Amino acid sequence: MKRVIVGLSGGVDSSVAAYLLQQQGYEVIGLFMKNWHDTSVTISDDCPWLEDSNDAMLVAEKLGIPFQVVDLSEQYKERIVDYMFREYEMGRTPNPDVLCNREIKFDVFMKIALDLGADYVATGHYCRKSSEEIEGKTIFKLLAGIDENKDQSYFLCQLSQDQLAKALFPIGELTKPEVREIAAKLDLITAEKKDSQGLCFIGKVRLPEFLQQQLKPKEGLIIQIPSSFEKYHQPLPKFVDEIAEFTYKATKTKYQPSDGKVVGKHQGAHFFTIGQRKGLNVGGTIEPLFIIAIDVKENIIYVGEGVNHPGLLNNVLFVSNQDEHWIRIDLALKEGENLQVKARIRYRQTLNKATLYKVSEGLFVEFDQLQSAITEGQFVAWYIDDELVGSGVIS
């Protein structure tokens, strides 16, 4: 009998995942990952991980499977929290959920599971896995979940073939309502439980307060750039080749304070992210203001009015070699090659047609349509049909 260790998070998805694996004849063990101790930054007094681990334990009891808690808070702090602070300090916006899957669930946690004699690790992600023999080798594929509203393949965009080989996603064929229905039939305590928000596994954390613990507030200016800013309306220069054109388009516009007018003050540029609208506390404009650029060195935030402000929109981005990742290694591009794909630059974004162009330093992604708020540090993921084949950090 094959042994599967399920990451029981105390939510409905992993609960039903454990049940389905039982039904499929696996020997199932539930493990709860404790990734956070510091209660000083959680929103409410209740201790979320305690409540969650308790729910996970009750689910395991109900299903009659062994259960234990593993403490990964040290690795989580090193690999996720410290990385987040570094990224924010540099004015980039990290995606801790993608990292948490790559570094914690499918690395640290997976190693523990395999040491416990597991054949597989399972999670409650809404995605699917399949495999195909290609040139005598088994190649694993990561497919979108059936439930389009809940597809979570994006969060797994950094997994490797080795990690996928050992992963199972039992609920990928189901929709969220179907999952809740199964949980209700089984009378599981998690059946009606709300989906968790906040950082992967830290519980209900307010991000600005979390960041403020490490990054000191310092007052700076908010400067509004008008849509009439001359750089937006310059004709494109003549390019020697495609690469020169992509490089030009992927390069962020550099703003000077003299390019706009001061409309307010903020408490630290590193607390903000491109495309952000809330938390600026600047009024008096017809349309809302959006952050179009962040200068951490000078501690200035640049904003533009309206969702169609030219400073927000672009259709080319760059991923450097070190940040380029292919789940389907067999499809990785060689220099000079290109590939038609569909891509997204954030979770839940509709997939958009795009072309990948491989150059010596990395990879350009050119979207057919303008994208709003392409953000450094976030992940771009590319798909062929419903298969996620690769991803990279936007540079």
Catalytic residues: 100, 200
The answer to whether residues 335 and 360 touch, using CB atoms and an 8 Å cutoff, is: yes
Q: Over the chain, what HEC string results?
A: CCEEEEECCCCHHHHHHHHHHHHCCCEEEEEEEECCCCHHHECCCCCHHHHHHHHHHHHHHHHCCCEEEEECHHHHHHHHHHHHHHHHHCCCCCCHHHHHHHHHHHHHHHHHHHHCCCCEEECCCCEEEEEEEECCEEEEEEEECCCCCCCCHHHHCCCCHHHHHCEECCCCCCCHHHHHHHHHHCCCCCCCCCCCCCCCCCCCECHHHHHHCCCCCCCEEEEECCCCCHHHHCCCCCCCCHHHHHHHHHCCCCCCHHHCEEEEEECCHHHCCCCCCCCCCCCCCCCCEEEEEEECCCCEEEEEECCCCHHHEEEEEEEEHHHEEECCHHHCCCCCCEEEEEEECCCCCCCEEEEEEEECCEEEEEEEEEEECCCCCCEEEEEECCEEEEEEECC
Going by C-alpha positions, the residue among 122, 128, 120, 121 that lies closest to residue 174 is 128
Cα–Cα distance, 118 to 214 (Å, whole number): 38
